[in-house]
A and B are shown apart, each in its own frame.
Chain A
Amino acid sequence: MSAERNPMGDKAETRVDSTPHSTSGALGMKPLPSVSDARAEPSSLEASTSSATAETANAEGTAWLGTVLGLAAWSMFFASLAFAVGWYRMREPWPSLPVSLLGLGLTGLLLLTGSAVLHLGLQRRESPWPARCALALGLGFLALQAMWTHQAWWTEHVRIPEGGVSASAFHGLTALHALHVLGVTAGLFFVCWRHARGADVRASLRRHVLGWHFVTAMWVLLFVAVYLP
């Protein structure tokens, strides 16, 4: 919970919220709290006093910083996995995956498209369509990844434990990444749902979009480390 009067907070706020769409939006926003903070400001839909707006903006800046730092740090999880994979592959080359590389790439394209859609969508104020579109793309990604894994397992016999460490990495890391995508997609779903019920979700949406960018970037890492021959 941020202090009531925090001159540095405002400075930090400006620094962090440097993306063009947010600062102007902040002042015109309804002062509903969309932060994960328990001491929520009173949920009033009326225009607030400037100090309450500053408080909300402050809290949102804090939530944003938490999201940025948390995701940046969590990339160490995937970096460690990539380190392990790199180690194995340098020790001994892996057989190439029997699953279509193009197929896997196009599946990832869904995430990349989602990133673009969401990024553009953040600039358009109240439209729910970018988020809903991303939701569909996320579910599509998961479905396709499940399909490739299914195909690899049953048709191409890339199995655990017979496939050794390369099969373990393919299935294991795909699954771990997919769990993250599932989490982000679920979060996005709840944002859409709250928006449909009339809540102001702009700040929350921004954070979830960052999460989407995160899983997209981690997919690129997964692709390069595990899928690419």
Chain B
Amino acid sequence: MSLLSLDHKAVARRYLWSGLGFLLLGGLLALAIRWQWAWPGQPVPGLAWALPESRGALTPPTYTAVFTMHGLVMIFFAVTPLLFGALGHFVLPLAIGARGLAFPRLSALGYWVYALGGVLVLASFAVRLGPASAGWTAYPPLSTSAFTPGLGQTLVTVAVLCAGTSAFTYGLNFVVTVARCRAPGMTWGRLPLTVWGLFFASVLNVLFVPVLAAATVLLLMDRLLGTQFFIAGAAAVGGGGDPVVYQHLFWLFGHPEVYILILPAWGMVGDLVAFFSRKPAHGYRLTAGAMGTVSALSGLVYAHHLFTSGMSPLLGRSFMVLTLLISLPAEVMFLNWLMTLWRGSVRLTSPMLAALATMVVFGLGGITGLALGAVATDVPLHGTLWVVGHFHLTMGAASFLGVFAGLYFWFPKMFGRALHEGLAKVHVLSSAVLFLGVFGGQLAAGYAGQLRRLYDPYQYTYLKHLLPLNQWTTVCAFLLGAAQVVFVVNLAWTLRRGRAAEANPWQVGTLEWTCASSPPGEGNFTQVPVVLRGPHALSQPEVLERLGRDWIGQAEVLPGVARQDTAEDAVPASEGTVSTVGRVT
């Protein structure tokens, strides 16, 4: 499809390639950091051309740029575009029975704004003073021009605005699409959980990206125009501003952002676990409600990132309580997933393995967040690699594995070909194990006190003994990088010579699988489906009896049923009623 196509599937593909490209860049930057912690000051193999004066070794200024760009690239240019840009744009209209997004031109524009941001990010590497180096969080005053002069930081700040603008537009697009473009009979209660995840995440995008925009614009004005919003202390002129205001605004965006990055993955896990247990998701409404509750609370917990900033005790206590509270809906949702497996017929396909792996890493990551949510236990852990391990498990590993769960699941639909299932499973399992190795190693190092963002942790005596741990973690990281080659090989080979995929290889009932070809044509459906039931109508007795299979499409007419009515449940209410079939709202 041409680069100018407005079709949501074409836009999704653009995001997919860009996202994967930036994922590679972000991953390489991570490996550079890990190298430095394992072999401090040693030349990094293959980097001599980029760092000639040090013969390829990272220097302190280079190191600050590397960890900054790793975070920025991964969050704004890799994970988000893969989850929302690639998977979200592709799946959402199909799954709700729409012919496209509500605003196709806006979706195409959103991609190009994101791409512009990507270009700025890449350009910043070529700037003489280097790219951004104040951390992905870019706290002022460090990130103002007084302490980080140069074009690099400015370019990256503008790039973040571009990525944010893109997110706002597709967030709006998704919300309106779900609200207005659902096929007849597709009530809110019949939406796949993936759609719920994308919907809630889009609501958060739309509400909180403007807050990031405000913080970033004010910072940009401080950098370029000499304003004093965030400058205090010796660099301030005429009664300065307050750097803490930036922290509040940034994290008011930043915390919902981490939920934005995980909600689609949660939704996908909910669906995949049901599909590959061949039974309806346990507690569909409870899960959707839990996702909604987490979204609602997400903006109210943000200041747990500021526990050490000297906040008033009242604020500190309030945020502690709210932060701990958010674990309740997450636990409900997790238990629902586990209950879905129970008494199901579990099929360990590659998407299912990825979904289970997502559960494992997310569960572990979430648990390690509890100690960070209580102020007292946060004090020794704040700013250490425990925090890094926590968010890498939840945001890096879980979102990443969620992306791959989605890719492995929807690849046949997107490209009309089937990936090699064996290679896919090898990729998922090795990645999951190695994720645990790398981020578990980070947790351990952080617990022992290793602070973040240190070029050379070992010049602190109390951290000297962590060198062997860091080396081991680095080995895991390099192996993790190598494991991704399996995916690349699978992808490249399949696109070139893979066998054609069936229309519904996973044998599930959602609309993209039952009413559209692989890949779907323009307009997605030959005729708009009329939805009759929920997304997890699996192993239903009438279906087994009349059709001889354990699945039925959401819009499929069940022969022999007297009345097919979009306005009522087709399944009689009884003990063990399928709770996924909703009523018209």
A adjacent to B, CB under 8 Å: yes
Residues of A within 8 A of B (CB): 1-9, 12, 36-39, 58, 61-63, 65-66, 69-70, 73-78, 80-81, 83-84, 87-88, 91-92, 160-169, 171-172, 176
By a CB distance below 8 angstroms, the chain B residues around A4 are: 528
Q: Which of A62, A63, A73, A160 has the most CB of B within 10 A?
A: A73
Would B105 and A1 count as touching, CB distance under 8 A? Answer: no
* A92 vs B241: C-alpha distance when bound (angstroms): 10
- The B1-56 residues at the A interface (CB cut-off 8 A) are 6
By a CB distance below 8 angstroms, the chain A residues around B153 are: none
From the candidates A6, A62, A78, name the one contacting B184 in the complex (CB within 8 A). Answer: A6
Of the listed stretches B63-71, B221-229, B384-392, chain A binds B221-229
Question: Smallest distance from the beta carbon of A124 to chain B beta carbons, Å?
Answer: 29
Which single residue of chain B is at the shortest CB-CB distance from A82? B214
By a CB distance below 8 angstroms, the chain B residues around A167 are: 228, 238
Would A3 and B172 count as touching, CB distance under 8 A? Answer: no
Would B228 and A161 count as touching, CB distance under 8 A? Answer: yes
Would A164 and B240 count as touching, CB distance under 8 A? Answer: yes
Which single residue of chain A is at the shortest CB-CB distance from B244? A87
Would A5 and B528 count as touching, CB distance under 8 A? Answer: yes
Question: Smallest distance from the beta carbon of A187 to chain B beta carbons, Å?
Answer: 15
Would B238 and A163 count as touching, CB distance under 8 A? Answer: yes
Q: Which of A7, A70, A162, A165 has the most CB of B within 10 A?
A: A165
Q: B104 on the interface (CB 8 Å rule)?
A: yes
Question: Smallest distance from the beta carbon of A10 to chain B beta carbons, Å?
Answer: 11
By a CB distance below 8 angstroms, the chain B residues around A62 are: 102-103, 176, 180-181
Q: B99 on the interface (CB 8 Å rule)?
A: yes
* A151 vs B237: C-alpha distance when bound (angstroms): 21
By a CB distance below 8 angstroms, the chain A residues around B183 are: 3, 6
Would B240 and A3 count as touching, CB distance under 8 A? Answer: no
Would B249 and A83 count as touching, CB distance under 8 A? Answer: yes
A1-B104, A5-B184, A77-B213 known; A84 vs B176 contact (CB < 8 Å) = no
Would B101 and A91 count as touching, CB distance under 8 A? Answer: no
By a CB distance below 8 angstroms, the chain B residues around A38 are: 6, 104-105
* A69 vs B199: C-alpha distance when bound (angstroms): 14
* A9 vs B102: C-alpha distance when bound (angstroms): 12
Would A76 and B225 count as touching, CB distance under 8 A? Answer: no
Would B176 and A92 count as touching, CB distance under 8 A? Answer: no
Interface of A, secondary structure class, is helix
Q: B400 on the interface (CB 8 Å rule)?
A: no
Would B97 and A3 count as touching, CB distance under 8 A? Answer: yes
A73-B172, A84-B218, A88-B242 known; A2 vs B528 contact (CB < 8 Å) = no
Would B242 and A87 count as touching, CB distance under 8 A? Answer: yes
The 10 A-B pairs at the shortest CB distance, nearest first, are namely A164-B238, A168-B227, A80-B214, A164-B239, A77-B210, A76-B210, A73-B206, A161-B237, A165-B241, A1-B100
Question: Smallest distance from the beta carbon of B24 to chain A beta carbons, Å?
Answer: 32
Which single residue of chain A is at the shortest CB-CB distance from B106? A36
By a CB distance below 8 angstroms, the chain A residues around B180 are: 2, 6, 9, 12, 58, 61-62, 65
By a CB distance below 8 angstroms, the chain B residues around A160 are: 225-228
Q: B217 on the interface (CB 8 Å rule)?
A: yes
Would B238 and A161 count as touching, CB distance under 8 A? Answer: yes
Mask: chain B, 515-533; 1 = CB below 8 Å from A; 0 = not: 0000000000000100000
20 A-B pairs with CB atoms under 8 Å apart are A1-B100, A1-B104, A3-B97, A3-B184, A6-B180, A7-B184, A62-B176, A65-B176, A65-B179, A69-B172, A70-B172, A76-B207, A80-B210, A84-B214, A84-B218, A87-B242, A92-B239, A162-B238, A164-B239, A165-B227
Q: Which of B106, B238, B252 has the most CB of A within 10 A?
A: B238
By a CB distance below 8 angstroms, the chain B residues around A84 are: 214, 218, 229, 245, 249
* A143 vs B213: C-alpha distance when bound (angstroms): 26
Would B245 and A88 count as touching, CB distance under 8 A? Answer: yes
Which single residue of chain B is at the shortest CB-CB distance from A4? B528
By a CB distance below 8 angstroms, the chain A residues around B249 are: 80, 83-84
By a CB distance below 8 angstroms, the chain B residues around A171 are: 227
Would A36 and B210 count as touching, CB distance under 8 A? Answer: no
Question: Smallest distance from the beta carbon of B200 to chain A beta carbons, Å?
Answer: 14
By a CB distance below 8 angstroms, the chain A residues around B99 are: 1, 3, 39
Would A69 and B176 count as touching, CB distance under 8 A? Answer: yes
Would B184 and A165 count as touching, CB distance under 8 A? Answer: no
* A35 vs B278: C-alpha distance when bound (angstroms): 43
From the candidates A12, A78, A161, name the one contacting B179 in the complex (CB within 8 A). Answer: A12
Which single residue of chain B is at the shortest CB-CB distance from A8? B182
Question: Smallest distance from the beta carbon of A149 to chain B beta carbons, Å?
Answer: 13
By a CB distance below 8 angstroms, the chain B residues around A162 are: 237-238
* A37 vs B102: C-alpha distance when bound (angstroms): 8
* A88 vs B102: C-alpha distance when bound (angstroms): 41
Would B102 and A2 count as touching, CB distance under 8 A? Answer: yes
Would A80 and B252 count as touching, CB distance under 8 A? Answer: yes
Question: Smallest distance from the beta carbon of A174 to chain B beta carbons, Å?
Answer: 12
Q: B319 on the interface (CB 8 Å rule)?
A: no
A3-B97, A88-B241, A165-B241 known; A69 vs B206 contact (CB < 8 Å) = yes
Question: Smallest distance from the beta carbon of A22 to chain B beta carbons, Å?
Answer: 17
By a CB distance below 8 angstroms, the chain A residues around B584 are: 8
Which single residue of chain A is at the shortest CB-CB distance from B97? A3
Q: B136 on the interface (CB 8 Å rule)?
A: no
By a CB distance below 8 angstroms, the chain B residues around A81 are: 214, 218
By a CB distance below 8 angstroms, the chain A residues around B225 are: 160, 172
Q: B98 on the interface (CB 8 Å rule)?
A: yes
Would A164 and B228 count as touching, CB distance under 8 A? Answer: yes
Q: Which of A168, A171, A172 has the most CB of B within 10 A?
A: A168
By a CB distance below 8 angstroms, the chain A residues around B208 are: 76
Q: B168 on the interface (CB 8 Å rule)?
A: yes
* A74 vs B528: C-alpha distance when bound (angstroms): 33
By a CB distance below 8 angstroms, the chain A residues around B528 are: 3-5
Which single residue of chain A is at the shortest CB-CB distance from B5? A38
Q: B324 on the interface (CB 8 Å rule)?
A: no
Q: B211 on the interface (CB 8 Å rule)?
A: yes
- The B235-255 residues at the A interface (CB cut-off 8 A) are 236-242, 245, 248-249, 252
A73-B168, A84-B214, A176-B217 known; A39 vs B228 contact (CB < 8 Å) = no
Which single residue of chain B is at the shortest CB-CB distance from A84? B245
Question: Smallest distance from the beta carbon of B2 to chain A beta carbons, Å?
Answer: 13
By a CB distance below 8 angstroms, the chain B residues around A80 are: 210-211, 214-215, 249, 252
Q: Which of A36, A75, A80, A167 has the most CB of B within 10 A?
A: A80
* A169 vs B236: C-alpha distance when bound (angstroms): 15
* A170 vs B408: C-alpha distance when bound (angstroms): 52
* A58 vs B184: C-alpha distance when bound (angstroms): 14
* A52 vs B99: C-alpha distance when bound (angstroms): 16
Which single residue of chain A is at the shortest CB-CB distance from B222? A168
* A74 vs B102: C-alpha distance when bound (angstroms): 19
* A9 vs B183: C-alpha distance when bound (angstroms): 9
By a CB distance below 8 angstroms, the chain A residues around B228 are: 160-161, 164-165, 167-168
Q: B262 on the interface (CB 8 Å rule)?
A: no
* A77 vs B211: C-alpha distance when bound (angstroms): 5
Question: Smallest distance from the beta carbon of B348 to chain A beta carbons, Å?
Answer: 37
Question: Smallest distance from the beta carbon of B216 to chain A beta carbons, Å?
Answer: 10
A6-B180, A165-B241, A168-B241 given. 17 additional CB < 8 A pairs?
A3-B181, A3-B528, A36-B103, A36-B106, A38-B104, A58-B180, A62-B103, A62-B181, A65-B176, A69-B206, A73-B207, A76-B208, A84-B245, A88-B241, A164-B228, A164-B236, A166-B239
